[in-house]
Structure 1
Amino acid sequence: MNQLSTLPGGIAIRVAVSRALLWIERAVPAFLPAALTVAAFFVLSLFGMWAALPGWLHLLLLIAFAAGLLFAVGRAILGLRYPTAAEGIRRLERTNNAQHRPVTTLVDPPAALIDSARRAWSLHLERTLIRARRLRLRGPRQLFVRGDPLALRWALAILLVAGFAAFGNETAARVADAFQPNFSSPSAVPGTLTAWVAPPGYTALPSIPLEANPGGVDGRVVPVPDGSALLVRVHGGSGESAAEMAAGAQLSFVQLDAANAALEVPIDDGGPVVVRQGSEILAHWVFEVIPDEAPEALFAHPPSGTARGSLQLDVAASDDYGVRSLETVIRWRGEAAAAAEEPIRLELPVSSRRARVIEHVTYHDLASHIWAGEPVQMELAATDARGQTGTDTVETRLPARRFDHPIAATIITERKKFAYEHAPRRLVGHNLKALAAAGATYGDVPRVRDALVEAATLVSGEPAPDARRRAIDLLWEAAVWVEEGTFAEADAAFRDAQDQLAEALRQDSRPDALEQLLSDLGENLMDYLEEMDESFAPPDQDEESGASVPGGFDADQNATRRELQDKVDEIVDLATTGAPEEAEDALDDLRDITENMERAGERMLAESDQRLDQRQAMMQQMQEMMEQQEQLMEQSFYQSARAGVADQKSPGSGSFDPPEDRQNRLRRELGEMMRRLGEEGEEIPSELGEAEQAMRQAAQELQRSRPGQASEAQGKAIDLLRLGYEQVRPMPGGLGPSQVAGERPGEHNRQSRDPLGRVPPGDGASPTGDVGIPKKLERRRAREIVEELRLRAGDATRPELDRDYATRLLDWY
C-alpha cells in the first residue's frame, strides 16, 4: 500500500475520514466507563446520598470514585491509537460490503507484469476505480455496546434527568457537599421544629403557621388574636427541648416518644418566645396580642310604626369576630300603674354564620301590649362570643294601632282605663257590659259579645294578676275582631308563618322541615288574601255582577296581590335551591309589603296626584303654544298681504323680535316638551314630531322673506298641534277632556278609592279602573332598570350630574 498517494482525490478523502470514524468507534467504548463513573457520582450527589453516609464511608467512596475514574481514563488513553491507512481502507470497504476490495487493489498493484498482461491489468484497474468511486462513508456503529454491555447508561441517564428536574437550582451546592465529608456525630444535628398558632374557635380564623429560624436572635413579630394558643412540635435532635416565655418562665416539652416532643401553651400577654433544644435556639418569635373589641350596636333610624301599628326597628351592629346575639329591651317610662309589666325583650335575627356586620329592618307586632302609644326606653344590645356587649339607647313612644270602627276604639279606651287605673274598675266593667248589650253596633257577633261579658266580669271582680292579664287580652281580641273580623286571624297566622320560616332559615333546618314551613306559608298567604278581599269589600257590592272589589286583591286587577304571590314564589325557589340568605332577604321584602301596604297606597296616591298636576301643566303649555303659533301665523299672513312694507308690525304681535327667532323658540319649546314626555315613559304622538318639522319649515321660509309659504307651514303646525293635544290629553284611569281642563279625577269622591289610592273599576271613564297588572317581563325589566339606576347613583366614579340624574329617576320609580 505504498502507493496511497496515487489514489484519486475523492477516494483519498474518504479513506482519511474513514480512519477518523474508526478512531471514534474505538475511543467512545474506551472512555465510556469513565463517563459512567462521573454520571454515578452526580446521581449520588443530586439525591443527597452523601449526607446519609458516615464521614469515613463518605471519604472512602470519594477515593474509590477518584481511583476508578483515573483507572478508566488511563486505560482508555494507553489503549487507544490512531488507525492506519490500511485500517481506514478496510473499514471503508467493509461498511460498503465491497467485493474484491477495490481500494486495496488500487493501492497494492502486482510486483511485476509481463507485457501481455499489462493491457488486461489496465482494464481491470479501470473497472476497479469505477467500483471504488461508488463507495460511501458510513457513520460509527455500536459505540456503546462494547463499553456498556449491561446498558447501565440508560438507568443513569433517567436518574440524572430526574435529579436535575427536582434539584436543578441546588446542583452546585449538592455537588460541593459531596466533596465535604461530615465527620461530626449525627446526634449533634438539631431537631426539626414545626409550630403554629391556634386562634380561639369563636374567631373562625385558620391556624397561623410559624417559620423556624434556627439560631435567630431577632424574632419576627406575629400578631395573634386574644385567647390564642401556641403549639410546637420538635422531631429528632439531642438535648431537652424547652420554651422561654416573655415573663421569663421556662416550659419543658412533653416527650411523646423517643424522637418527638410537644408543647401547647396559651399566649396571654404576648412578647418574645424562644424555643431551645439543649444549647441550640430552634426558633424565636415575638407575639403581639390583638385584643377582642366589644361589639357596637346602633339604631340606624329612630324606631317607628307601620301602617298596621307594628314596631319597625332599623338596627345595625358590628363586631371584629362576629355578633352572636342581638336583642332589644323595651322598658316603661310612663305612669307607675303599668310599670309592673316585665320589660319587653325582642330577640333580633342573627345569622348562624356569625356575620361581622349586621344591618336589619325588623317588624314586631306589639300593638296588643298595654304600653302601645306610651313613652318607653329602648335599649339595643349586641353580644359577641366572649360575652362582651355594646348598647345603644333611645327614648320614644311605642307605636299604637289606629282603630277606625267606633266600637273598637271605645273598647281600646276602656282597656287603657283599666290597665292604667284611670277609672274605677266597676265603672269600666259597667261600660263594657253596656257595649256588650249594644250588639247591633258591632254586628251582634257572639265572639265579641262573649269576650266583652267575660272581660267585664273579670274587671269588676277581685283584682288578681291572672285575671288582669286575661281581661286585657280579651278586650284586645274583641277590638280587633270588631275592626277586622276574620281577617285578624288570617293576618296573625300569616305573620306567624313568616316568623317560623325566618327562624328555620337562620338555623339551617332540615330540607323536609323547610318544605313544610314553605307549604304553610303558601296556604296562609291564600287565606290572608281571601280574608282581605272580603274585609275590604263594600256591603252593597253586587256579588253576581262580577265587578272587582274596590281595595280588594283580585288577581286580575290588583298588582299588590300578584306582587305578594310572586314574592312567596321567590322565597320558595330560593329556599329549595340552597340560598338561605337570599331567601331571608326576600322574606324581609314580603314583610315590607304586608306591613306598609296602606303607607304605600298613600304614597302612590300622592305620586299620582303629582303626575296629574304635571300633565295638566303640560296641557296648559300646549294651549299656550297653539295660541303663540296662531299669532305668528297671523303676523306672517299680514306680512304676505302687505308685501313690501317691511317695517309694518302685525296686530297683536307685541314683540319686536324677528318672527323667525320667535318661531325657532316655539319649535325648541315643543322639542323640550316631547323630551319630557319620553322621560315619563309616555308614547310621543307622531303628530307632535310632524308639527316640529312644520315649525322648522316655517322658520326657514321666514328667513328667506317668504311669509306666504311660512303661513301655510304655520297653519299645518297648528292643526298637528291640535291632533297631538288630543293624543296626549287622555290620562290613565280614564281622564276625560273636562278633567284636563282643571277638574281632578276622584277629587269629589276620594273615599271611593281603595286603600292603595286607586280608582276602582267603573269609577270614571275606564271600566276597569286605573290599575293594570304589569306582565312578568315588564316587572322584571322594571326591577333591572331600578337596580341599574341604584348602581349608577351610588357609583362615586361617575360625574355628579349623572348621579343626580339617576337619583331623580329613582325617585320617580
Structure 2
Amino acid sequence: GLPGSAGAAVGPSWEGWIVPPAYTGRPGLYLNEIDRDAFEVPQGSRVVLRFYGRVGALTLDQSLDAGVTADETGQALEFDARHSGRLAIDGPGGRSWQVTVAPDAVPQIAPAGPVTRARGGVMEQGFDASDDYGVTAGQAEITLDLQAVDRRYGLARDPEPRAPLHLALPLPMTGERTQVSDTLREDLSLHPWANLPVRVALSATDAAGQTGTSPAQSVILPGRRFFEPAAKALAEIRRDLLWNIANARDAAQLLRGMLYRSDGAFRFQGAPVLIRGAIDYLETRLDAGTFTPEARDDLAQQLWDLALLIDEGELANARERLQRARDRLDEAMRNGADPSEIAGLMDELREATDDYMRMLAEQMPPEDQAGDQRDQGDQQGQTITQNQIQQMMDAIQQMMEEGRMDEAAQAMAELNALLDNLQMQRGQGGDPLPGDQAMQGLGDTLGDQQDLADQTFQQLQDQFGQDGQDPQTGQNGQPGKDDAQAMQDLAERQRQLREDLHQQQLGDLPGEGTEEGNAGLDALEQADRAMDQAAQALEDGDLRGALERQAQALDSLREGLRSFRDAQLADRREQQGVDGQNQQQAQGEGAGRDPLGRDLGRSPQGGDLGSVVPGVDPRERARELMDEIRRRQAERERPEDERDYLNRLIEQF
C-alpha cells in the first residue's frame, strides 16, 4: 500500500521496519520493499509498524513475540522478534512473511592450556573466546580451593572470608572480536592465596548480556618463589597472618625464633634490626588490643619488603648472585628435583644472568670497549650476546622438560664455563651505550648509599647497651654526645648523597621519553624521598627508622638502574634493527662461530659435521647433527629462507 498520509487519502495503508540490534552490524529492513515470502533477522530485532487510514481496517497477525506494544489507536505497533514465526498484515494491501529468527549464540571460552608461572611469579593463562557478534568482556574468576589446601601450621585455622578474585581478560582495542586468542598475565604474588590451591574459571560476555563460562580448573596460584631460607620463612609468616589474623601471636614467636642464634644467618646485615622492628610493631599492638586488619596488612607489607631484601636485594654483587643461582640449579639437577623447582631455579638463573650482564656493561672501561678487546674476543670465541645466553638457557630448560637430564647437565657445564669467561658485547663494534657516564654516576651513588647503610647499622649495633637498654637512647633517654655527633655526621653524608642524586637526575640519563626511562626517573624520585626521610631520621636520632629508609633508597636506586639499563638495551636493539642485516653479515659470516665460540661447521667435539670420525658412535653423531640443525633453526637472526630449509630437514629426518 501507499505509505503515510498519501496512502490514507485513498484508503488504508501501512509501513513497517525491522531494526536489528546495533551490535550485530546488520542493516535494517523496510518491509514495504521486501518481495520474498520469507527472510531471516537476528534475535532481538525490533519490529516497527505504522497503520494509516480507518482504525481497524488493518490488523496484525504475528507469532514472533507476545509482548506487543501499541499506541491508543492501535495504529502504531512495536515488538521484538524473539521466536521464528509468521508476520502478517491483514487488510487492504496487506502482506505476510515467514520470519526466521537467527538465535544469538552464547559466547564460548576455554583455557588454551594450563595456568603457568612466568618469570618473577607472574601468572599466565592463555584463552580462546568466540561469539557470533563479538565478545564484549571477559574475566577470570579465582576462588580458594580450600579442600586442596594442606591444613597444617598457620593454615590449620579457617581462613578469613575473601571475595573471589576477578581479573579482566585482555581483548582487542579495535577490530572484530568474534574470535579472540590472548593471554592473561597478572602478578598475584602479594595476594594471600599465592602459591596455594585455587580454582580458575573463565567467562566471556557478549553485547546481549549473555555469558559463557569454562569449567573451573584446579591449579596452584602462581606467585614469587623465595630461595633464601630466611626470606622463605618471612613469606610464610606473612601468608599465615593474611590467612587469619588469629595467627598473630604465633607469628611473633616465629619471628623471635628467626633471631635466635642468628649470627651470620642473614646476607643483609640490617635484617635482624628490621625483624626486631616488626616484632615490636606486632607485639605492641597485640598487647594494646589495636592489631587491626589494617595494621596486619601494613605488617604484611613490611615482611614482604624484608623478604625481598634478604632474597635478592643485598648480595655483595651480581657475580655472587649468579654463582649462587648456578650452584642451586646444579644441585637440583644432581638430586633429581621436581620440574616445578627446577623451573623456579632456572628463572632465578635467568634473572641473575641479566643482572650480571648489566654489571659487566656498567663496569667495562671505555678504552676496553673497542678494537683490541673485540678482536681478542673474536679470536678466542668468548664474545657473546645476552640473547645468545638466553637461547642457551631455553635449550637447557627444554632438555630438562623432555627428561634429557644428561644432555642438560652437559649443556649446563658448557654454559658455566662460558659465564666464567664472559665478555659483554657492547652494541655494534663495542661502542659505549648512550648514558653510560650518567649510569656510572648512579652506580657510584648506589655503592656510597650501601656503605652509608652499613655504617648506620654499625652505629645501631654500637649503641646496644650491655644492660639491654633500647639502642636509641643513652642513660637519660637521649643519645650520648658522641653518638649524637656520629648521627649528625651520617645525616650530613646522607644529605650529600641526596644532592649527588639530584645532579645525576639532571644528567644525560638514557631512555628519555620512553617507558623504561620514565620508570627509571620514577624510581629515582622514590630514592630521593627515601634519602630525605633517612637524613631526617638520622638528625632525630632514629637509627632504626633511618636504616629502613636507606634500605628503601637502595631498592629504588637498583630499580632505577635496571630501568635505565633496559632503556639502553632497547635503544641498542632498535639500532641493530636498522643495521641488522649488515651486522649479521659481519658477525655471522665474519666470525663464523656459535654462542660457545666454536666454528659453525663443527660439532661440540670439534669434528667436521660432514665427515666420519673413527671411534664415534654413528647414532650419537646423528643426534649431535640434529641438535645442531635445531639450534640453527631456532636462531631468529638467520634469514627466513635458511630457517625454512632447516625446518624441512628436521621434518624429513
Query: TM-score, normalization: structure 1?
Result: 0.38
Which structure would you say has the larger Rg?
Answer: 1
Alignment TM-score, normalising by the size of structure 2: 0.46
